[in-house]
Amino acid sequence: MRVARSIGELTGLRAEVPAGHRVGFVPTMGALHAGHASLVEQARALTETVVVSIFVNPLQFGPNEDYARYPRPLETDLERCADLGVDLVFVPSVNDLYPSGRQVSVSAGTMGTVLEGAARPGHFDGVLTVVLKLLNLVRPQVALFGRKDAQQLACVQRMVVDLNLDVRVLGGETVREPDGLALSSRNVFLSPTERALAIDLATALERAAAQDTLTTALGAAHAVLDRAGLDPDFDLDYLAAVNPETFAEVASDAGGEVLLVAAAVVGGTRLIDNATLHLREPVDPPAVPRLPSPR
C-alpha cells in the first residue's frame, strides 16, 4: 500500500496506475469502521485499483460543531486500509487541499438547504467542494459513498449529473451494530447510557419500514421517538418522508418507494439515520357516474 501525503505525491502515484485499470475511490474522514470497510470491499469487487482518502474537511463543519474533537486515529486507519488491501491512501493537509486565497466553492442548491442542510447551513456546500476536488485529483471511474448519509449521497449524485463528471457514484448499504445502531465515527462520543438511547433512532425507522402507508409509518416511528424524547438527553431534530433523489418532502398519501430520514442529538452527539419505505400505491376513488343532462 502506498500513502500520498500531498497533492504532488498523489499525482505521481496516480500516474503509476497501470493503463486500463479501473480506479475505485472511497472518500472518508477517517476513524474507519466496518461501514467504510464494506465500501472498500465493494470498490475492490468493481475495480482493479482502490484509493481511499482520509481528510477531516473543515468546510463541512459549522462554527459550533465538533471539527476540533473529531476522531483522527490516522495510524490505526492506515493499518486498517492495509489489511483491507487498499492500494493507495491520500492523506492531504488542510493547507495543501485549500491553499491561501481560495475563493471558489460548490453550491449544493436547494437540496442542500433542507433537513440536514437547514440544521447545518453550508454543510453540503463544503461536502461537494471537497468531493469535487478529490474526484478531480484521484480521477476514479467509480466512487463509493455510504447510504447512511443519504442526503450527502443524493447531493453528490446531483453534482455529478449537473457538472457532467465522468464518474459512477454508487451507494453502499448502511452497516449496523447487532442491536441496529448505524455505524458512525461519532458513536465513540456516546456514553453507555446515551448509546442505549441512540438505538431508539434505528428502532423507530425499523418499525416504520414494516408499515405499508406513510401515515402508519410515521405513527410507528413517532411512537418510539416521542417516548425517547422524554429523556432530556434525546432531542429529535427531524423526521421526514422524502423523495430519495430530490429530498423534497412527499405527500401524506404517497406510494411506492419513499425515504424516511431522521436526525437526533443524543447527549450532545448528532446522529442521522434513514430507512426505505415500500408503501402501498394509493387507490384511485371509483369514478362517479355521470347523470344524463336534463332535456
What pLDDT sits at residue 292? Answer: 64
- Cβ distance 10 to 138 under 8 Å? yes
Tell me the backbone φ, ψ of residue 9, rounded to 5 degrees.
-65, -40
Task: Return left, alpha or beta for 83; rule: phi > 0 is left, psi -120 to 50 is alpha, else beta.
Answer: alpha
What pLDDT sits at residue 35? Answer: 96
Q: Which residue type occupies 61?
A: F
Q: Is 31 annotated as a binding residue?
A: yes
What pLDDT sits at residue 61? Answer: 95
- Cβ distance 50 to 40 under 8 Å? yes
Task: Scan for cell 475492490, then name that residue.
Answer: 44
Q: What's the Cα-to-Cα distance from 174 to each of 36, 43, 179, 195, rounded to whole Å?
A: 10, 15, 14, 18
49-54/2-4 β-pairing: unpaired
- Cβ distance 135 to 164 under 8 Å? no
Q: Is 185 annotated as a binding residue?
A: yes
By the 10 Å C-beta count (0-12 exposed, 13-18 middle, 19+ buried), 158 is classed as: buried
Strands (E), 31-122: 49-54, 88-90
Q: Is 255 annotated as a binding residue?
A: no
Express each pLDDT in 132-187 by its tens digit.
999 999 999 999 999 999 999 999 999 999 999 999 999 999 999 999 999 999 99
All domains of the chain, ordered by start, with CATH?
Answer: 2-172 (3.40.50.620), 187-279 (3.30.1300.10)
Q: Is 278 annotated as a binding residue?
A: no
In which residue ranges of the chain is pLDDT below 50?
Answer: none
Q: Is 59 annotated as a binding residue?
A: no
Q: Is 34 annotated as a binding residue?
A: yes
Q: Is 32 annotated as a binding residue?
A: yes
What pLDDT sits at residue 291? Answer: 62
Q: Which residues pair with 182 in a beta bridge?
A: 176
Q: Is 146 annotated as a binding residue?
A: yes
CA atoms within a 13 Å half-sphere pointing along the CA-CB vector of 194 = 18
Q: Is 60 annotated as a binding residue?
A: yes
Q: What's the Cα-to-Cα distance from 210 to each of 158, 181, 275, rounded to whole Å?
A: 29, 17, 10
Q: Is 147 annotated as a binding residue?
A: yes
3-state secondary structure 239-281: EEEECCCCCCECCCCCCEEEEEEEEEEECCEEEEEEEEEEECC
Alpha carbon distance 259, 104 (integer Å): 32
Tell me which residue of 68, 66, 38 sits closest to 52, measured CA to CA.
38
Please give the positions annotated as active site. 36
Task: Return left, alpha or beta for 18; rule: phi > 0 is left, psi -120 to 50 is alpha, else beta.
Answer: beta
What pLDDT sits at residue 64? Answer: 86
